[in-house]
Amino acid sequence: MKTPKPGIPVRGSKTGQPIMALLDLLGRSWAMGIIWHLYTGPNTFRGLQDYCESISPTTLNTRLKELRDCNLIERTLEGYALTEYGKELYELLEPMGNWARHRWVNSFKENNNKP
């Protein structure tokens, strides 16, 4: 699977606008989950496998490669870890946690839209 990077054609943009490359990258299974989890600290391949429960090693490996190619994570002595860029991105993602918990959930209580 081709790694989406700014400047090359990606899903949603033939010219590879950075935001579209980013949305393409993050819009793949487990990509955001991995970043979310790594913020708690570096982790090993098997550790991530356990965390993700249902991820296959094939997918985990390609996802890790993509995230490395895009400079969001790197390998350290303690396992995979977020880079500076990865941490910055996490911090942009973080507010979604509170929003999901405190705002989004309300939308399911209104007009009998049960989860």
Chain residues in the site for DNA (CB under 7 A): 1-2, 11, 28-30, 44-47, 54-59, 61-62, 64, 75, 79
Residue 14: Cβ-neighbour burial (10 angstroms; 0-12, 13-18, 19+): exposed
Q: Smaller CB distance to a second copy: residue 77 or 107?
A: 107
Query: Per-residue contact track with a second copy, 5 to 44, x per CB under 8 A?
Result: xxxx--xx-x-x-xxxxxx--xxxxxxxx--x--------
Of the candidate residues 50, 57, 61, 108, the single one contacting a second copy (CB under 8 A): 108
Looking at 41-49, 50-58, 74-82, which segment touches a second copy (CB under 8 A)?
Answer: 50-58
Question: DSSP letters along the chain, please?
Answer: -PPP-TTS-BTTBTT--HHHHHHHHHTSTTHHHHHHHHTT--B-HHHHHHHHSS--HHHHHHHHHHHHHTTSEEEETTEEEE-HHHHHHHHHHTHHHHHIIIIIHHHTTSTT---
Summarize as ranges the residues that interact with a second copy (CB under 8 A). Answer: 5-8, 11-12, 14, 16, 18-23, 26-33, 36, 52-54, 69-71, 83, 85, 88-89, 92, 95-97, 99-101, 103-105, 107-108, 113, 115
